[in-house]
Structure 1
Amino acid sequence: MHRTTALVHDISLEVTARDRASLSGAALRGGTRVSITHLGTESADDRLDAAAAARAAGFAPVPHLAARRFADASGAREALAGLRERGAHERVFIVAGDPRTPAGPYVSAEDLIRTGILAEHGVREVGIGGYPEGHPAIADDALWAALEAKVAAVQERGMTATLTTQFSFDADAVIRWIERVRAAGIDVPIRVGVPGPAGVGRLLAFARRCGVGSSAGIARKYGFSLANLMGTATPDRFVAELAGRLDLAHHGDIRLHVYAFGDVQAASAWIASAAERTLPLEATKPA
């Protein structure tokens, strides 16, 4: 299989609960994984409705569970029971969550995984986050230790682990991160996060919020001009460079994960087009 073809096969999409009404019109293949974030500004019912909407549209929902937002084990069990009632429980994505002070006993994603609650409720696949460009609030050594511990915790409980990265604009950083993951003996599937098509200003605002690169660095690597903040940026250049440098035999199972940033239609249209074409690798190789 061609490197680009492999990379754009089975692309996943990330949305928020408020995007649920847009899912029925999304130009995605049946069975596409649709991740649903766990935001403090949305209710539990909103997230359950979004998971149900993704399933009703023929997609595979991947609801996020933020460990620090659960006040107790009952809250986590209630969330999982609600997902199971809607047939949206087999795949979940576990994060620590944004609150600095946990609402209950779970400080980290690993804490929630190690309770065994996920497996008890029929979860088969657990997604874990990765940060190729680092995390603005967590030291690099701590990130790597947590990653290895979470993968081990998932596998020890008989579930399948997958890794999905924060969106990135730096192919060098992503390749280095993937190689370090594989060098650590972690051979699980990896989904590399990329922003869906978005206005340049909006894209930079999300990048600043997540601590991903400087505006000038992002513009240079992603291929747009800071002089035109009203323009639209797509991930084509980044994806083409990444595909051109991946060695499937060495780097393993690598796919893409697209962040919708509120525009499900634009993101899903890009996913559909990417799956049907070969990106112009020759035009984007470094000089």
Structure 2
Amino acid sequence: MTGKDVAGLEEARDSIPAGTKINVTFLGNEDLDMRVAAAKAVKDMGFIPVPHISARRLSSEAQLEEFLARLQEVGATEHVFAVGGDPAEPEGPYPDSLSVIRSGILQKYGVKEVSIAGYPEGHPDIAEDVLWRHLEDKSAALAEQGLKAVILTQFSFDTDPVTAWITEVRKRGIQSEIRIGTPGPAGIKRLIGFARRFGIGANAMIVKKYGFSLTNLMGTAGPDRFVGDLAALLAENSAAGSVKLHFYTFGGLLATSRWAGEYVAARS
């Protein structure tokens, strides 16, 4: 959810299981009060807030400490997501999430678990070897500091690169829980727009496999086929380790939570 989605969370709260992790964004058009209020709302409604820390958006060490201190006041620092962020040039002393992790500041404010980014289909602006090195370095830095790590991936439409990437993560000795980014049900046009923005494959063959057509952009699509296929592939891979889902709620919190509840009910 974004800092503006508190009303949407209130609307969806009864369809989301208690204790669900809900990430809270760190966008350029949000301010400190909005981010903290959203994290507090998540906590107050019985869920686990996972505030984002966007390294390149931080103008100073003092800003990072102020953010964490405010989050700690509302009981929202145990779980965070450290990510580089969008700005082409860092706005302060942190060029990437690794520099935030290595600062030692997170533990000072009660952080126990740090989510870090994974990119099964690569990143439009970062070379693949660099992505792997960063993932290994961040995993090692968190282990050294006694912090639990979770790898949270960009969303995908195709199970093939996802399962290949999971296999490679495990081959590199990284055994942290992986949460695979999964688009919640949303308009097809909107899904494709997000895919293009983040450099994710959305060609005709892949989206047909996912379950919708590029020739009909007016409908909506859910991740039923993607989730089912991924579950089947992981069941065959004993080395996959702990793999869960992370939903990007492009169609809204309520639509996504209802979809998840219906999906589980239909298979139980």
Q: Which amino acid aligns with 1:54?
A: V
- 1:44 pairs with one of 28, 32, 36: 32
Distance 1:126 1:184 in 2: 19
Aligned-pair CA distance for 1:262 = 5.1
Distance 2:7 2:74 in 1: 17
The alignment status of 1:249 with 2:259, answered yes or no, reads no
Q: Which stretch of structure 1 is more off in the superposition, 182-191 or 217-226? A: 217-226
What is the aligned length? Answer: 265
Alignment of 1:1-287 (within 5 A): 15-26=1-12, 27-247=15-235, 249-261=238-250, 263-278=252-267
Instruction: Decide whether the 8 Å contact of 1:16 with 1:262 is kept in 2.
Output: no
Distance 1:219 1:137 in 2: 23
Cα displacement string for residues 181-224 of structure 1 (whole angstroms, at most 9, x for unaligned residues) = 00000001000011000011111111111110134244222111
Cα displacement string for residues 12-71 of structure 1 (whole angstroms, at most 9, x for unaligned residues) = xxx211112111221100000000111111111111111011111111000000011111
Tell me the C-alpha RMSD between the 2 structures: 1.3
Runs of 4+ with >3 A deviation: none
- Please list every run of 5 or more consecutive structure 2 residues that lacks an aligned counterpart in the other structure: none
Which structure has more relative contact order (CA 8 Å, sep 6+)? It is: 1
Instruction: Decide whether the 8 Å contact of 2:79 with 2:114 is kept in 1.
Output: yes
Instruction: Decide whether the 8 Å contact of 2:114 with 2:149 is kept in 1.
Output: yes
Q: Which amino acid aligns with 1:127?
A: S
Determine the structure 2 residue equivalent to 1:11: none
Distance 1:277 1:152 in 2: 40
